[in-house]
Structure 1
Amino acid sequence: MVERITSRYRKLVFVTWFLTLDLIMFGAFVRLTDSGLGCPDWPGCYGKISPIGASGHIEQALQAMPYGAVSFSKAWIEMIHRYVGSLLGMMIIGIVYLAWRHRRELGNTPRLAIVTLVAVCVQGAFGAWTVTHQLMPLVVTSHLLGGMLLLALMTWLAAREKPHAPIAAAAARWRGWMAGGLILLFMQVALGGWVSTNYAALACMDFPMCHGRWVPDMDFHGGYSLFRGLGLLPSGEMISQNALTAIHWVHRNFAFLVFAYLGVLGWKMLAEPGLRGPARLLLVLLAAQLLTGLTTIFFQWPLLIAVLHNGGAAGLVLASVTLLVRLSRAHGAKIPV
């Protein structure tokens, strides 16, 4: 009986974790195809449950603005993202139910599952605000960070259920360093989201310099003004090229710090058998992120590479959280997981 309950719970956790990763990738596709306003209301599409029922409204929007934010393809992309998000929420409710009802059999407190449920509810709210605030960069970037936080929580839940080789007590010394690396990684994700939501990926078309200079002309105040509309400055004027350059330049250069920090840390942890798998994944994904980031510049932001770059960031969160959970299990570690 206990084995059957445990098996069912683990399967649900791993399927939900995989769906969370997929949803983050698809969310990047929504953002990069400019489909975020494919249905300009929420939760339905022009008040209908699907774009089929809203076809008349979509046709009118197309006639009014043939190259605008609304089209049949964009409406379907946006609504599929919402459908999958709703399914994810229901699956997390199922995890909470099982974690609470069978907490003795599972041997874990349901607290983490409950926190994950709260996180997915908040994420749903940000999804609605993304539409109602007309793709405001601060809201869209917060939505991206919320997705990464949700992935981190689901990875934590999944990592608790996956066995691994014992980890020596000496490895616990890396726990604080790994926590610091995860903070740096989330900062870089925020900077990358700010690049994407402000369409600043092509603000610097050369590498390693930007506009032929190591430190080009930049407007940090305009670029990092948080409370403003898409493509605008707080004054209502169009955002300047110097502001876009500042957004791109900061993300690009902060990436070198994250790459060096996590690269050294991952290399150090390869020596521990219980950490070798996620440490190797961390190193591979760092190299892949560097490659896709550079390719985005040289090939002018092709959609597939941009989505893979977002997926690589999610993979780095996944690997980092797995390492942190395993380090917390090292002999002598005092953090309950």
Structure 2
Amino acid sequence: MRKLVGFSIILALVVIILGAYTRLTDAGLGCPDWPGCYGHLTVPQSESHIEAANAAYPERPVETHKAWNEMVHRYFAGTLGLCILVIAVWSLLKRSPQQPVKLPLFLLALVVFQALLGMWTVTMNLLPVVVMGHLLGGFSVLTCLFLLYLRLSSYRIGYVDMRIKKYAVFAVCGIAVLVGQIALGGWTSANYAALACTEFPLCEGDWASRIDIPGAFSVPPADNYEYGAHDYGERTTMHIMHRLGAVVTFIYLGWLAVCLYRRSLSVYLRSAALVLGGVLCVQVGLGVSNVVFSLPLTVAVLHNAVAACLLLVLVLITYTLYRKV
């Protein structure tokens, strides 16, 4: 089961990357129905099928490359859902004191809700709240799978100065700070505000006069939210808030990494702190590159993937401080 959970973690990370790629290539509505694509299990291929699809959805004619981006994401997500179902059933059948049951069942419920969010993303025409929720749901599934993997692991940390245990609380706060920053990034991306500011470190022009926090975090009425429904000032505010969140996150997690490295007697925790600091610096570099180089697709996708890795490192440190010291 541990091997299956490990495989599912890799698969969940791939799903997050594919989801980011789908969103960044404007393929979120590449298939206007769900769970199939124009009424098929695959993208329409033949000329007759494409004509029938265009007739059924005249407002959304077939764009093959976008449709495939969307369907590949769905195939991988569906496979992940099946793996989690097997894990949950296996946990019920192989009950033992060493075998977690509640977490696999929670995972199963979570992935079902995540599938609903995927459906609503399409049926509600990329409603930003749903898109951001879908992103957070993917990170939640990955985190829970990683926690299950740690629960099934037998590693132990040897003697550690018990004063380091107090940093478990700070690590939990770090997770909260990082999740808040991921949510800000998801909101910025869902509203197509990633390029609202094209200069660094400040935004172009008189950006301060355009700040509109209530408008930036509202959902304006629209029939379709593809390419965004907020005005320029509101998108600028989203972008600025995400940058400010990045500064707070960098300072807090950087402080946590330094404290753990300097004060821990455990080689394991010191190594984890080094990894945390390294991944954090890479993430900041990717974020700056997104602005300076006008959101290159590869860099933007990596920005999502490294955020997931950063979250996993924090979860590992927190779990170790609470359960393995």
TM-score normalized with structure 2 length: 0.90
Q: Distance in 2 between matches of 1:117 and 1:65?
A: 33
Describe the shift of the 1:256–1:275 C-alpha distance in structure 2 as closer, same or farther (beyond 3 A). same
Q: Distance in 1 between matches of 2:294 and 2:227?
A: 23
Q: Distance in 1 between matches of 2:145 and 2:123?
A: 28
Partner residue of 2:299 out of 293, 300, 305: 305
Q: Is the 8 A contact 2:191 2:227 kept in 1?
A: no
Describe the shift of the 1:66–1:297 C-alpha distance in structure 2 as closer, same or farther (beyond 3 A). farther
In the other structure, the counterpart of 1:6 is: none
Q: Secondary structure at the match of 1:103?
A: coil
Q: Distance in 2 between matches of 1:88 and 1:51?
A: 21
Please identify, of 198-207 and 221-230, the stretch whose mean Cα deviation from structure 2 is larger: 221-230
Q: Distance in 2 between matches of 1:281 and 1:223?
A: 34
In the other structure, the counterpart of 2:321 is: 327
In the other structure, the counterpart of 1:335 is: none
In the other structure, the counterpart of 2:120 is: 129
Describe the shift of the 1:83–1:180 C-alpha distance in structure 2 as closer, same or farther (beyond 3 A). same
Q: Is the 8 A contact 1:35 1:77 kept in 2?
A: yes
Q: Secondary structure at the match of 1:44?
A: coil
In the other structure, the counterpart of 1:288 is: 282
In the other structure, the counterpart of 1:4 is: none
Q: Distance in 2 between matches of 1:140 and 1:22?
A: 18
Per-residue displacement from partner, 1:3-60 (whole Å, max 9, x unpaired)?
xxxxxx1110100111111110111001001111111000111111111468645457
In the other structure, the counterpart of 2:183 is: 190
Q: Is the 8 A contact 1:204 1:245 kept in 2?
A: yes
In the other structure, the counterpart of 1:176 is: 169
Q: Secondary structure at the match of 2:39?
A: coil
Per-residue displacement from partner, 1:89-114 (whole Å, max 9, x unpaired)?
1101111122222232x613311111
Report the alpha carbon displacement of residue 228 of structure 1 after superposing the two structures with TM.
4.1
Q: Distance in 2 between matches of 1:311 and 1:216?
A: 34
Q: Is the 8 A contact 1:136 1:228 kept in 2?
A: no
Q: Distance in 2 between matches of 1:250 and 1:197?
A: 14
Partner residue of 2:26 out of 25, 34, 46: 34
Q: Quick check: 1:72 aligned with 2:61? A: no
Partner residue of 1:210 out of 203, 206, 211: 203
Q: Distance in 1 between matches of 2:258 and 2:193?
A: 32
Describe the shift of the 1:108–1:276 C-alpha distance in structure 2 as closer, same or farther (beyond 3 A). farther
In the other structure, the counterpart of 2:256 is: 265
In the other structure, the counterpart of 2:6 is: 14
1:110 aligned partner, one-letter code? V
Q: Secondary structure at the match of 1:207?
A: coil
In the other structure, the counterpart of 1:141 is: 132
Q: Distance in 2 between matches of 1:226 and 1:86?
A: 30
Structure 1 gap segments, 5+ residues each: 1-8, 332-337
In the other structure, the counterpart of 2:36 is: 44
In the other structure, the counterpart of 2:141 is: 150
Q: Secondary structure at the match of 2:210?
A: coil
Structure 2 gap segments, 5+ residues each: none
- Residues matched between the structures, number: 318
Per-residue displacement from partner, 1:301-326 (whole Å, max 9, x unpaired)?
01000000011111111111111111
Q: Secondary structure at the match of 1:329?
A: helix
2:14 aligned partner, one-letter code? D
Q: Is the 8 A contact 1:137 1:198 kept in 2?
A: yes
Report the alpha carbon displacement of residue 68 of structure 1 after superposing the two structures with TM.
6.5
Describe the shift of the 1:55–1:259 C-alpha distance in structure 2 as closer, same or farther (beyond 3 A). farther
1:240 aligned partner, one-letter code? D
Q: Over aligned residues, Cα RMSD in angstroms?
A: 2.5
1:218-233 → structure 2 map (5 Å cutoff): 218-226=211-219, 228-229=221-222, 230=225
Q: Secondary structure at the match of 1:205?
A: coil
Q: Distance in 2 between matches of 1:205 and 1:69?
A: 32
Describe the shift of the 1:59–1:290 C-alpha distance in structure 2 as closer, same or farther (beyond 3 A). farther
Partner residue of 2:15 out of 19, 23, 42: 23
Describe the shift of the 1:303–1:69 C-alpha distance in structure 2 as closer, same or farther (beyond 3 A). farther
Q: Secondary structure at the match of 2:208?
A: coil
2:191 aligned partner, one-letter code? N
Q: Is the 8 A contact 1:58 1:72 kept in 2?
A: no
